[in-house]
Amino acid sequence: MNTKQLIYSVLVFLLLTSCSQSGNDSLYDLLDLEEITVDQLQERYNNGNLTASQVTRAYLDRIEAIDRNGPGLNAILTVNPNALEIADELDRERRDGNVRGPLHGVPIILKDNINTTDMQTTAGSRFMEGSVPPQDAFIVKRLREEGAIILAKANLSEWANFHSSFSSSGWSGLGGQVNNPYDLTRNPCGSSSGSGVAASANLATLTIGTETNGSIVCPSNANGIVGFKPTIGLWSRSGIIPISHTTDSAGPMVRTVRDAAILLSSATGVDPRDEFSAASEEHIHDDYTQFLNEDGLQGKRLGLYTQPLGNHFRVDTLMNETVRKLEELGAEIIEIDQISETNIGGDSFQVLLYEFKDGLNKYFASLGEDAPVSSIEELAELTRNTPEETEKFDRNLILMAAEKGDLDSEEYREALENMLRYSREEGIDRVMDEHNLDAFISPTGSPAWKTDVTLGDNFSLSSSSPSARAGYPIITVPMGELDGLPFGLSFFGRAWSEPVLLEIAYAFEQATQHRIIPEFKN
């Protein structure tokens, strides 16, 4: 370290101590972490002008200042008590010339249905409070190996929003209601609500959510960030509290497409505990940033999925403007009014009920003797006998799933076969072949609605179901705003098409720069 760097570090240390004692978030401002990217963070680490310890403390102060106090986002359930110790160790490794990877010293917040051995994993349920799993989720193990700092666990829609006939996204019995950072009276969407708010409000450099159908892309849409659900199996799901092993995946929730590509690269890998991950081996790329191309829309044929249109005229207007922009950037747009010719909503619902029961029972068993709940049947019984559990929401999905049979059931097998057939070979694959498409586009959703725990959510439009039911990848990028509320554009396509989706999403992002920083209005 040269003299200039030493002086800078001493000054930062003194200011860090002062800021910590004063209880405000000025250290975050002092260190200039607003909207910081992984590349920018690594550059400042490498030139000696910043340490992981400083960044970690700044984010922890910011969580205290604006999440738990201040505007009260309520996005964080648990802070890692070891975060500063981990950061100190990673700083020592860097000084010794050992940099593990592109995430070395990068703070990440995880949705609280992803196992961590140093924090509880609860899915937002009061019945799971205090449950510390015996081993990390596979993706957490990969992130730690890359040098990431698991900073905190994010609040979420309880049980990933598969619990009641209606609900308020971002609400959990354990954590309460997550609030949208653009307007605290509005909903953050779910179920990865806390992850979306944490990324948007700059509570960490990166966050991770999970999705069964819309739970990454919808909160990314409502919180003005980039959300990426990969092909099922590209990221292992072992150690994640499940809904459906056929359609669940974790994925990046970040502020830029490049950071999504970096994070995507770092958590891939074949995991013996997730048989779906075996299919990813021949499709994994060590570095997904190689596919980022500012001219990536040139010559692309994009199918405009029109079914979500017609629900909000102002969204339609901005979508039409976006289509013209995509054409200016070299894309050809082909209107597609439907992807599946068969309604498979009922089949999809049955698959979720059966796989939720099977998956929860296996997850509870993985916790061993310390499991706070032994089975979904016990969960249903606890729910019936705990009045506060049904005070706001009926918990019908938990009760219905508990009554289902096993995965050998004919009802389940037929529903699964129909869902996959009409979403894949008779759905996305068929339409892409017929029209020679590179990807689909569609508005991700509408701007955020007013939070209402009495009447529940107000989804006016969504485009996630075709990719969700197929288990295919989807990425959403900010597309614009209405009255200060952001919303996004989704790109989705075939299995393992992450490279082309990143290419076109990056080209759109770089040409438009629609990301807006929230101001915590009320």
Q: Catalytic one among 125, 164, 191, 348? A: 191
Is 192 noted as a catalytic residue in this protein? no
Q: Catalytic one among 111, 141, 300, 404? A: 111
Q: Kindly report the CA angle at 211 between 210 and 214, in degrees rounded to 5? A: 135
Q: Catalytic one among 131, 157, 169, 215? A: 215
User: Which single residue is written with the structure tokens 């919180």?
Assistant: 223
Q: What is the DSSP letter of 487?
A: E
Buried b (16+ CB within 10 A) or exposed e, 208-228: bbbbbbbbbbbbbbbbbbbbb
Q: Kindly report the CA angle at 153 between 398 and 228, in degrees rounded to 5? A: 80
Annotate 202-257 with DSSP letters as a single string: TSSSEEEEEESSSTTHHHHHHTT-EEEEPPBTTB--TTB--S-TTT-EEEEEESSH
N residues, the chain: 522
Annotate 489-502 with DSSP letters as a single string: EEEE-STT-HHHHH
Inter-residue contact 111 to 156 (CB < 8 Å): yes
Closest CA to 86 of 113, 124, 68, 59: 59
User: Can you give the C-alpha Rg of the chain in angstroms?
Assistant: 22
Q: Rounded to an integer, what distance in angstroms lies between the CA atom of residue 9 and that of residue 48?
A: 8
Q: Rounded to an integer, what distance in angstroms lies between the CA atom of residue 406 and that of residue 347?
A: 16
Is 366 noted as a catalytic residue in this protein? no
Q: Could you give the C-alpha distances from 259 to 97, 218, 263, 358, 399, in angstroms and in order?
A: 24, 19, 6, 34, 40
Inter-residue contact 239 to 133 (CB < 8 Å): yes
User: What is the token pair recorded at 377?
Assistant: 């049947």
Q: What is the DSSP letter of 175?
A: T
Which amino acid belongs to residue 2?
Answer: N
Torsion (CA) 229, 233, 238, 241 in degrees, nearest 10:
40
Q: Rounded to an integer, what distance in angstroms lies between the CA atom of residue 106 and that of residue 40?
A: 11
Is 464 noted as a catalytic residue in this protein? no
Q: Catalytic amino acids?
A: 111, 191, 215
